[in-house]
Amino acid sequence: MIDDKTYGPWAVIAGGSEGVGASFAEQLAGAGINLVLIARKPGPLDAAAARARKCGVEVRTLALDLLDADALPAIRAATDDLDVGLLVVNAGANSYGHEFVTGDLDRFGDVLALNITVPMALGHHFGARLKRRGRGGVLLVGSLAGYLGQADLSVYAAAKAFSRIFAEGLWLELREHGVHVLELVLGVTRTPAMERAGLDFDLPGLNVADPDEVAREGLRHLADGPVRIAGGNERAAEQRSGPDRAALVAGAHEASRRLMGRAR
């Protein structure tokens, strides 16, 4: 059970309308923690809020694009009067999977903004508040992609590598102030975003995690930062972390092509 004295009475979830973000919302609401849910699409956002309110908690919603220049001011305006004990940053699925040298540089810039600039801005604002408060948590949702360079995902993978290292540094800075920081590293997870990307979850050998399970794992291990590999992917992360980068990157690339039926 999540500690509502440490992480409540309010939690802010960026990307809280579907998938793992919606699972965080439901589980935190079930623990009696009020929510501020932020997402781009009003429909799924309102549906997630309605489910959370069935637990008897208050829910505020912000339907906005986190890449907009006025996103952070809007978030501050909606939360400055609240005692926020937990920040969850789950908004970062904009992978824009294209070969870098022929892709759209502006789109790659959006990937960096969503996965680096936005978590930095939110972590800076709420991290300072939590430090003054003397308790609470910051949970950043990461990806196994950040452990290894990948063709057609080079910018996204690099951004997720930044996220993990950033979480480790923030963990060091805030732990003496009673604030827990955790990077929850996801592998393949059965979410609407991955379904829209066309991923075949039934591919042989694919370890597919459930959103509710990985959200539960993250909340259970919030105090065990700085990094938690979710969904039983510890071995995969270890295999991607060796010193022979050329062999690791090339080998993983070929394995991915075979798995996706694109081997030459």
Q: Is 156 a catalytic residue?
A: yes
What distance, in Å, lies between the first and last C-alpha atoms of the chain? 49
Measured distance CA(36)–CA(62) in Å, rounded:
7
Active-site residue, selected from the candidate residues 7, 96, 147, 156: 156
Measured distance CA(62)–CA(20) in Å, rounded:
18
Nearest to 28 by CA among 45, 46, 47, 3: 3
Q: What is the DSSP letter of 204?
A: T
Q: What is the DSSP letter of 189?
A: B
52 and 29 Cβ atoms separated by less than 8 Å: yes
Instruction: Say what the alpha-carbon torsion angle 35, 114, 125, 220 is, to the nearest 10 degrees.
Output: 50
Q: How many CA atoms lie within 13 A of 25 on its CB side?
A: 33
Active-site annotation, residues: 156
